[in-house]
Structure 1
């Protein structure tokens, strides 16, 4: 009989696996006495049986789906709304039930208010200096107080109104220019012009936050038509890279001794993106700080000035230059993602259901008329527009999961044991599509489901977590007002100012998610045509 190397080593491997499993069981028993076979306490949520030491990493890495899609398939196969997947020595708890989600972020908010230590969050935050990803502690309390009180307060929101309006006007001018441009000599007879909605939406969001922070739209010269130049495109692309690879199930986050090897390539992509962002941000921050130090600047004109001029109780600078740079990146990423994605998906869904687009157009025209553009003061009256945006946030979230929460102590949630150090992930996709909550065709775009019988205001946030837009609890997004304003203004300006239609060679928009993220698989490129008097577009 011939023996291969594998057949010779097979018995040894079997013994080695048994030894690992025995060691792992002993470690679990010592670390979590609740989990012993004789324990009368609560069990972990259902999930796959993990390998010793490495957990379920082999199954996650070997499947053809992305990590998030693999987890969602696992939950579907297990028919559970809460699951536990052990990756390395980390218990990853995933949740698709609003009721259970509220237990985590409301009832047990104090226990789950921290963030995990990961390669991506460390790089993006310059060593945990920004608000969103810093673990619970003094740095988080300092930055959260500063954000809520000094940057995103109602007073500052009103103060920055003119800058937001300037960029909303620039958006309208830019699309109006595209309407009058001939992009393809074979389509000269098309009434209107082709518009890449993804570029328009993402760059509008980028313009707004750049204007609010740096008091400038462009890092370079921009384009003559009001569109983004190379610098702005590179900047926004880098921000989306940070978004896509933050907390992206990097192997080294679960097996620490693999850190530095960058086996999945995430570290290189993040470092490259941070180099681009630092290239544009750092010189502006350092130059502005020098102006304040030398007394050449004494009054705040934007949020960068506000951060530089803040003082602590001893009249020293509240924030270091590194904290300011980190927080700017935090604000940038948080502003460009949800609004642009929600509006692109909304317009795509509307083009496939023209009655929705018609109803939204009728509402905004009834409120605004045809002789001016939409203003922020109109937003409270645009309930159907807001319902459309809210439906997009429900059905087409920007990311599969929220930013992870970490348990600071052992806890029992929904009658399951959640060990200290667990990473808790709420599924944006499955919360918004949960058939027990959204019983009327949960996979169909229906804005009417968000309208209230009494006609009261529609809001984009959802404190009961039936959809995950701005989250809730201590880690809830402090930018609810700003994010909602940017989203609704973007959608309302597009619908009010222009008629939209699919290209002549297409009868339907293909509503397919990308294989690598949750954006449309292909950017939405459609035809826009001005629908207001010409003088309305000549905005100052």
Structure 2
């Protein structure tokens, strides 16, 4: 009965007229928009096509294609593969274009040749919340970005400052061994995701805030409930920084609406981080103002004591300090932890890789001391293993977007002002035109150039990005990544907890850490006196 009434209603002349009128209105508006966009082009751009891509819907562009799929990055890479293109165009809304790139030559056009045109960032709800309104470095634009970047390069990430903070990193490398060794003594398996993430967090926490733990920690050297909550909040924030949010592309219509619940989750995550950071920052500032503290011991001291050379006033506001410290954690945790979790999993499934890396360390370092940062230059195979993880197993499918500030061209295509360029970590590292057998984990492919570096300046893959918006902490990232891997494989043999080996399947969507956390047994391989006995 209901269906028959519905069918009768849907076929009435009034309904048909209304539908036709709506369709005509959409068509007219679409034509007007297209004409406006075409009229905006001029000179060298007027005859150039946009990059190829999925056919957009009128007015809303490719929103349905994105929203109806569980993984938008796999959809993007899927249609690019079908179209056999290394650059594509996805229109979102009626005037924003997303430009994914999977070819190193095209990537270099964006990051090098057209670096100035793509040196801006798009504004999003999540990045605004995570940066306190764009007060830190990564997501800021224009003068604020220049101010914070200059400060980081000279005062935080310089070789002199990293040397000054070496002792704090060395203590965390020892605590890493202490914790894993305690799991062996307790006959427990090791969850590599927990180990790698909390080593990375401990390093940043010690360097920036002068402490490993917010609470008492655990007697075995592992994280306490406070550190678990802190790191979970950081990775929640990272997850949504790289996710798609329709409200970012239709701000005039959806401003203030939290359609995916992302704003609520990010606000909670940032509040958790603030609850741990802010009391330390406030107390430290009180100590400097009162004169109770006179010696600098960590990055927080550096940020508080910086002065404006022209006025003598503090160089950074309290909020700039707060959000720059948040950003240090966001930038410092994901790459090392993800790469080394994947690497240990791959090594367990291919034991010859683990053996070769251990043999290199034994040759360079010996078995009478633990590997140190000063050994990294000679550990080329170990670096090749980490580099291969960056290539094959990136934490996120794309880099943080670059936004064009003017009409330009890339690879012979017209790129409109305001386009979001997405360099695909996933596509560059797995491009079969660049890499032989790209899905195989093979560190040997990186051993042809003498001294192996984790940096890839030719953008055949992305470890630490390049260009004016490139990673400022490349040296620190290298220290953290290689020391984490080198200590784990020098000090322990690793074995799967089941006869099936390690499950290295990928999740359907980001983040691209193993779908099942890598869990394994660790067995000491050095003399007992080399293992730290306290944290």
One of 36, 51, 58 as aligned partner of 2:64: 58
Residue 19 (structure 2) pairs with residue 13 (structure 1): yes
TM-score (norm 1): 0.94
Q: Which moved more, 1:3-12 or 1:119-128?
A: 3-12
In structure 1, what is the equivalent of residue 261 of structure 2?
A: 265
What's the offset of the Cα at 1:40?
5.1
In structure 2, what is the equivalent of residue 474 of structure 1?
A: 468
In structure 2, what is the equivalent of residue 188 of structure 1?
A: none
One of 148, 155, 159 as aligned partner of 2:164: 159
RMSD, aligned CA = 1.6
One of 173, 177, 193 as aligned partner of 1:172: 177
CA spacing shift, 1:374–1:14, aligned 2, 3 Å? farther
One of 83, 92, 95 as aligned partner of 2:101: 95
Q: Which moved more, 1:506-515 or 1:489-498?
A: 506-515
**Partner-residue secondary structure (3-state), 1:412:** strand
In structure 1, what is the equivalent of residue 514 of structure 2?
A: 520
In structure 2, what is the equivalent of residue 331 of structure 1?
A: 328
**Partner-residue secondary structure (3-state), 1:327:** helix
1: CA distance between counterparts of 2:46 and 2:279?
A: 60
The CA deviation string for residues 372-406 of structure 1, in whole angstroms up to 9 with x for no partner, is 11100100000000000000000000101000000
2: CA distance between counterparts of 1:57 and 1:538?
A: 55
CA spacing shift, 1:221–1:6, aligned 2, 3 Å? farther
What's the offset of the Cα at 1:67?
1.6
One of 209, 212, 235 as aligned partner of 2:207: 212
In structure 2, what is the equivalent of residue 81 of structure 1?
A: 86
TM-score (norm 2): 0.95
CA spacing shift, 1:10–1:316, aligned 2, 3 Å? farther
The CA deviation string for residues 161-217 of structure 1, in whole angstroms up to 9 with x for no partner, is 0000000000000001001003xxxxxxxxxx4111110110000000000001100
**Partner-residue secondary structure (3-state), 1:529:** strand
In structure 1, what is the equivalent of residue 216 of structure 2?
A: 221
2: CA distance between counterparts of 1:127 and 1:40?
A: 37
1: CA distance between counterparts of 2:259 and 2:8?
A: 29
In structure 1, what is the equivalent of residue 239 of structure 2?
A: 244
Contact 2:174-2:532 at 8 Å conserved across structures: no
In structure 1, what is the equivalent of residue 445 of structure 2?
A: 449
Residue 396 (structure 2) pairs with residue 399 (structure 1): yes
Residue 283 (structure 2) pairs with residue 290 (structure 1): no
2: CA distance between counterparts of 1:436 and 1:427?
A: 15
CA spacing shift, 1:533–1:94, aligned 2, 3 Å? same
In structure 1, what is the equivalent of residue 140 of structure 2?
A: 134
The CA deviation string for residues 450-501 of structure 1, in whole angstroms up to 9 with x for no partner, is 0125xx2111111111001111110000000000110000000000000101
1: CA distance between counterparts of 2:314 and 2:31?
A: 51
In structure 1, what is the equivalent of residue 304 of structure 2?
A: 308
What's the offset of the Cα at 1:14?
4.5
**Partner-residue secondary structure (3-state), 2:189:** strand
Contact 2:118-2:405 at 8 Å conserved across structures: yes
One of 478, 482, 486 as aligned partner of 1:484: 478
In structure 2, what is the equivalent of residue 187 of structure 1?
A: none
Contact 2:406-2:418 at 8 Å conserved across structures: yes
CA spacing shift, 1:366–1:260, aligned 2, 3 Å? same
Count of aligned residue pairs for this structure pair: 522
1: CA distance between counterparts of 2:367 and 2:327?
A: 38
5+ residue gaps, structure 1: 183-192
**Partner-residue secondary structure (3-state), 2:88:** strand
Residue 385 (structure 2) pairs with residue 385 (structure 1): no
**Partner-residue secondary structure (3-state), 1:83:** coil
1: CA distance between counterparts of 2:533 and 2:415?
A: 56
Contact 1:29-1:35 at 8 Å conserved across structures: no
CA spacing shift, 1:20–1:217, aligned 2, 3 Å? same
5+ residue gaps, structure 2: none
**Partner-residue secondary structure (3-state), 1:76:** helix
Contact 1:34-1:41 at 8 Å conserved across structures: no
What's the offset of the Cα at 1:363?
0.5
1: CA distance between counterparts of 2:122 and 2:221?
A: 41
Residue 453 (structure 2) pairs with residue 459 (structure 1): yes
Contact 2:175-2:532 at 8 Å conserved across structures: no
Contact 2:504-2:516 at 8 Å conserved across structures: no
What's the offset of the Cα at 1:59?
1.7
1: CA distance between counterparts of 2:519 and 2:127?
A: 34
**Partner-residue secondary structure (3-state), 1:424:** strand
Residue 285 (structure 2) pairs with residue 280 (structure 1): no
Contact 1:120-1:247 at 8 Å conserved across structures: no
2: CA distance between counterparts of 1:14 and 1:62?
A: 26
Ranges of 4+ aligned residues in structure 1 off by more than 3 Å:
1-11
Contact 2:365-2:375 at 8 Å conserved across structures: yes
Contact 2:137-2:148 at 8 Å conserved across structures: yes
2: CA distance between counterparts of 1:181 and 1:315?
A: 55
